[in-house]
Chain A
Amino acid sequence: AQSVTQPDIHITVSEGASLELRCNYSYGATPYLFWYVQSPGQGLQLLLKYFSGDTLVQGIKGFEAEFKRSQSSFNLRKPSVHWSDAAEYFCAVGGLSGGYNKLIFGAGTRLAVHP
């Protein structure tokens, strides 16, 4: 069955520190992979996506993610976190399945940033 696991429910980092949010997926075919961010009271904004090519993808707001097929992972990273990065982050896996563009989400990781 298709699934996405985000092992960390909450993460707290200091402003300026580096960040890595973990994501593992289970998918029968080559997946499309996404990271979304949800700021408090807001909808979901697409940070970055991977579907082929270079396994290190760059996104908005200084985020990047690396696809590792052997580990079924798509971890999100940022070298220096800003206070405005405090939000909830969702990893998602998707693709054409039965002719439909299906997207499955992880449970999310809530990021807190200390000054």
Chain B
Amino acid sequence: EAQVTQNPRYLITVTGKKLTVTCSQNMNHEYMSWYRQDPGLGLRQIYYSMNVEVTDKGDVPEGYKVSRKEKRNFPLILESPSPNQTSLYFCASSQSTGSYGYTFGSGTRLTVV
């Protein structure tokens, strides 16, 4: 089944404790993105990747890091999480042209206390 898999689904952590949210897709998509969803703000892009070893900042990159060492994986790293990073996070992937839209993972709900 074609899908984007994120782990974990739920995560509660403390301020400053480094964490990684994993994302993997099995569709051989070139593009991958991370979004965060906050009430009233819709989805905002954190980082994106056009292919292996090619990443760039989205609209809200502060406090996040990403890497793309393999085509299928695109982990999101929070080196020192803060409470304002409490949010619902989505990973998504897409084929190389804009017309296909994105396939989304099921989301990771992160709480930073």
- Whether A101 and B42, one on each chain, are in contact in the complex, defined by CB atoms closer than 8 angstroms, is no
Question: Measured between C-beta atoms, what is the minimum distance from A105 to chain B in Å?
Answer: 4
B42's partner among A32, A94, A105 (CB-CB below 8 A) is A105
- Whether B42 and A96, one on each chain, are in contact in the complex, defined by CB atoms closer than 8 angstroms, is no
Contacts of B94 in A (CB 8 A): 101, 103
- Whether A43 and B43, one on each chain, are in contact in the complex, defined by CB atoms closer than 8 angstroms, is no
Whether A105 contacts B50 in the complex (CB less than 8 A), given A32-B99, A49-B101, comes out as: no
Contacts of B102 in A (CB 8 A): 46, 101, 103
B43's partner among A42, A99, A105 (CB-CB below 8 A) is A105
Question: Measured between C-beta atoms, what is the minimum distance from B47 to chain A in Å?
Answer: 12
Contacts of A107 in B (CB 8 A): 40-42
Whether A43 contacts B106 in the complex (CB less than 8 A), given A90-B43, A101-B31, A105-B42, comes out as: yes
Number of interface residues of B (CB under 8 A): 28
- Whether A101 and B98, one on each chain, are in contact in the complex, defined by CB atoms closer than 8 angstroms, is yes
Whether A51 contacts B41 in the complex (CB less than 8 A), given A42-B106, A43-B90, A43-B106, comes out as: no
Number of interface residues of A (CB under 8 A): 28
- Whether B48 and A51, one on each chain, are in contact in the complex, defined by CB atoms closer than 8 angstroms, is no
Whether A95 contacts B98 in the complex (CB less than 8 A), given A44-B90, A100-B56, comes out as: yes
Contacts of B15 in A (CB 8 A): none
- Whether A51 and B98, one on each chain, are in contact in the complex, defined by CB atoms closer than 8 angstroms, is yes
Contacts of B56 in A (CB 8 A): 100
How far is it, in angstroms, between the C-alpha of A92 and the C-alpha of B94 when the chains are bound?
Answer: 14
B81 adjacent to chain A (CB < 8 Å): no
How far is it, in angstroms, between the C-alpha of A38 and the C-alpha of B100 when the chains are bound?
Answer: 18
- Whether A44 and B104, one on each chain, are in contact in the complex, defined by CB atoms closer than 8 angstroms, is yes
1/0 per residue, CB under 8 A from A, across B23-61: the answer is: 000000001010100001111110010100000100000
Known contacts A44-B92, A94-B101, A105-B42; 9 further A-B pairs (Cβ under 8 A): A32-B99, A36-B104, A46-B103, A49-B100, A51-B99, A96-B97, A100-B56, A102-B48, A103-B94
Q: Please list 13 pairs of residues, one from A and one from B, whose beta carbons are closer than 8 Å in the complex, sorted by A's number.
A: A32-B98, A42-B107, A44-B43, A49-B99, A49-B100, A95-B99, A99-B50, A101-B96, A101-B97, A101-B98, A101-B100, A102-B48, A105-B42
